[in-house]
Amino acid sequence: MDKPVAMAPARPLDHPAINPRRIGVLIANLGTPEGTDYWSMRRYLKEFLSDRRVIETPRLLWWFILNGIILTTRPGRKGKDYETIWNKALNESPLKTVTRSQAEKLQETLTALDDRIVVEWGMRYGHPSMKAALTSLQEKGCDRILLVPLYPQYAAATTATACDKAFEALMQMRWQPTLRVAPPYYDDPVYIDAVVTGLRQSIAALDFEPEVILASFHGIPKEYLMKGDPYHCQCVKTWRLMREAMGLTPDQFMMSFQSRFGRAEWLQPYTDATVKALAERGVKRLAVVMPGFSVDCLETLEEIAGENGEIFHHHGGEKFAAIPCLNDSPEGMRVISHLAIRELQGWISPAAG
């Protein structure tokens, strides 16, 4: 009778522990300083403005401008701006507060579909970093990760740099998880319906009816468009689809670009100049919606609601409203959940879609 063959153990006794296989989802946004003080602002601005995707000025020239001028003067001014919107209860910016909530709500939705899914959130600049979020997912056993940049319109300075940072983190991993990246969703019907629904709800809650609605998108230097960045075209399509859904004319539903920086020409028309011109021509009631922002932040709460509201009133306007971003509202979460579930197909049950 043959002797039974001894079976080798499944793995060596000293083999590192292996977690059960799980699926990760990482939602990513731009980032935020950790505080409003000078040094917190300086660290954030240095990381942000050192990114070659954001600033394409020749490096040697930019080094002198950044370190000799900007990082000595701008942190104090921007810190005061952040103070006006700061979540003092949690000692953090609204962008961080809302992005965390988005991740928590997305986790609830996706767990109901597949309990293997783990959701994390990360920032391209600041904390929690993309590397920290990806490492956390990997340590929890995620061998497949979906990255969802929360930018409806693609730009090299937003979507691409978020991907760069994710790939940079993967380069340092021995056992890399498989990574998928959700595409921009500027013309996705669910997104368009959500921003239009949110806009209608906000307008219905106002004590006035706007004569003009202005869709303000974050600007980029015109040079980036000429080099092939599709951002401008995607913003225009979002605006057109929203306008058609609202049933408004181009004069009733206009578009512009905000947040320009430096002396170079940026995408036009500029938001502040447009707001000023509307007031000066006799428009008394204006609402501004910012469909390119998934979360309210400095650019929406201070620049639009504060600075541009003042411009409008100073030049003859009477009623001004900055429409809240989708944030973690039911409409906002409908968009993020839709994107995640759609892009997870093949990793989760088809029935989940």
Binding-site members are 218, 299
CB neighbour list of residue 225: distance below 8 Å, 6 or more residues apart: 231, 232, 267
Which residues fall in the annotated binding site for Fe(2+)?
218, 299
> Per residue, what are the HEC states of 72-126?
HHHHHHHHHHHHCCCECCCCECHHHHHHHHHHHHHHHHHHHHCCCEEEEEEEEEC
If one counts every other C-beta atom within 10 angstroms of the C-beta of residue 49, the result is: 17
DSSP, res 351: G
Give strand pairing partners of 176: none
Single-letter code of the amino acid located at 74: R
Residues 315 and 278: their CA atoms lie apart, in Å, by 9
- The answer to whether the CB of 312 falls within 8 A of the CB of 208 is no
